């Protein structure tokens, strides 16, 4: 009973009560002297002045920043439009040059030899029977392993189609009797190059993305059988069996291979021997 009475009479701890009494005796912590009060007032005035000046500067500079941003946006838009115009002009000039080159390769008489030269040079569109070969990365491509049996720099993933794979596919189609070949709409000529840039495959410096659709004009059934039995066809089959690369070959009645976007026309002259009589 005495414990309960003590708790009721002393509900506040003695330490807290002493601190409250001391704070009350000193005036609640506020400065008492005039000098201290003036210092506190000066500090508050200075803080208010800093906040006011900052707000005023922000208000003054905001329109300037907005104007500079608008000028930059307008400049970017003007430069972009100018670049688009230049790119369009370049495309028009390239198309005109390609048309003139095709006219030169075709010749004036329209003979079979001129037509053959245009086909072999890739200057004209070709269509006819042929094959369609689709080569794609493996489904699990992207996981990769550290132990790469195909080991080479770049393309660390065993399930990725590489530039050398497409090189062998194209060479195998040529050797099997293809008359014209394209990859993803990009016509291949005697001067075309299939290279790698990092993990990307470039055909004549144009990046391609999988799946890679290879179209070849030729004797459809014969071309397909000859390619599958060729060393390059067996190489592609080994990629499918060992690394999961997906392939599909079909014979088509009408395959269309576009003309090359740019054809380099080169001429040769007979060499004249000096010092002969």
Q: Dihedral, CA atoms, 54, 58, 61, 67, nearest 10 degrees?
A: 170
Cα–Cα distance, 191 to 242 (Å, whole number): 32
3-state helix, strand, coil in the chain (%, to 5): 50, 15, 35
Q: Which residue has the tokens 């290279």?
A: 195
The counts of H helices and E strands in the chain are 7, 8
How would you label 104-137 residue by residue, b for 16+ Cβ within 10 Å and e otherwise?
Answer: bbbeeeeeeeeeebbbebbbbebebbbbbbebbb
Q: Give the CATH class of 126-143+154-257.
A: alpha beta
Q: pLDDT value at position 134?
A: 95
Here the tokens at position 62 are 């905001």
| Degrees to nearest 5, angle at CA 91 with 86 and 97 | 125
Per-residue tokens: 247 = 């392939």
Instruction: Output b/e per residue, 225-236; b: 16+ Cβ within 10 A.
Output: bbbbebebbeeb
Model pLDDT, residue 3: 61
What is the pTM (predicted TM-score) of this model? 0.55
* Residue 228: predicted pLDDT: 93
In this structure, the number of other CB atoms found within 10 A of the CB of residue 251 comes to 16
What is the distance between the alpha carbons of residues 118 and 46, in angstroms, rounded to a whole number?
86
Query: Cα(30)–Cα(23) distance, rounded to whole angstroms?
Result: 10
Token output for 90: 């370049």
Q: What is the pLDDT along the chain (277 residues), one digit of tens a residue?
A: 566 666 566 655 666 667 666 666 555 555 667 777 777 788 888 888 888 888 777 777 777 778 888 889 889 999 999 999 998 898 888 778 777 766 665 555 555 566 666 666 776 788 899 999 999 999 877 544 443 444 444 444 578 999 999 999 999 999 999 989 999 989 988 888 899 988 789 998 889 989 999 999 999 899 999 999 999 999 999 999 999 999 999 999 999 998 887 666 566 677 777 655 4
Instruction: Please give the structure tokens belonging to residue 220.
Output: 């459809």
- The CA distance from 112 to 106, in Å, is 9
Displacement of CA 172 from its chain's centroid (Å): 29
Query: Per-domain residue ranges for the chain?
Result: 33-106, 126-143+154-257
Supply the pLDDT for residue 10.
Answer: 61
């Amino acid at each position: 009973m005495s414990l309960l009475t003590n708790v009721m009479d002393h509900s506040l701890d003695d330490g807290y009560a002493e601190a409250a009494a001391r704070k009350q005796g000193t005036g609640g912590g506020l400065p008492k002297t005039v000098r201290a009060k003036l210092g506190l007032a000066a500090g508050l005035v200075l803080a208010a002045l800093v906040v006011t000046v900052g707000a005023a500067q922000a208000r003054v500079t905001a329109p300037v920043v907005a104007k500079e941003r608008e000028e930059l946006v307008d400049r970017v838009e003007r430069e972009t439009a100018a670049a688009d115009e230049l790119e369009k002009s370049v495309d028009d000039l390239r198309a005109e040059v390609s048309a003139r080159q095709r006219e030169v390769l075709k010749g004036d008489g329209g003979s079979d030899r001129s037509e053959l030269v245009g086909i072999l040079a890739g200057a004209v569109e070709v269509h006819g029977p042929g094959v369609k070969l689709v080569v794609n990365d493996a489904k699990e491509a992207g996981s990769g392993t550290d132990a790469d049996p195909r080991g080479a720099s770049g393309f660390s993933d065993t399930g990725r189609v590489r530039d050398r794979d497409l090189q062998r596919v194209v060479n195998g189609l040529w050797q099997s009797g293809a008359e014209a070949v394209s990859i993803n709409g990009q016509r291949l000529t005697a001067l075309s190059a299939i290279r790698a840039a990092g993990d990307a495959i470039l055909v004549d410096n144009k990046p391609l993305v999988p799946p890679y659709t290879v179209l070849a004009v030729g004797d459809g059934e014969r071309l397909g059988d000859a390619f599958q039995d060729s060393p390059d066809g067996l190489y592609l089959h080994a990629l499918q069996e060992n690394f999961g690369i997906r392939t599909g070959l079909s014979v088509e009645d009408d395959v269309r291979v576009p003309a090359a976007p740019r054809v380099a026309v080169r001429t040769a002259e007979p060499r004249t021997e000096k010092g002969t009589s």
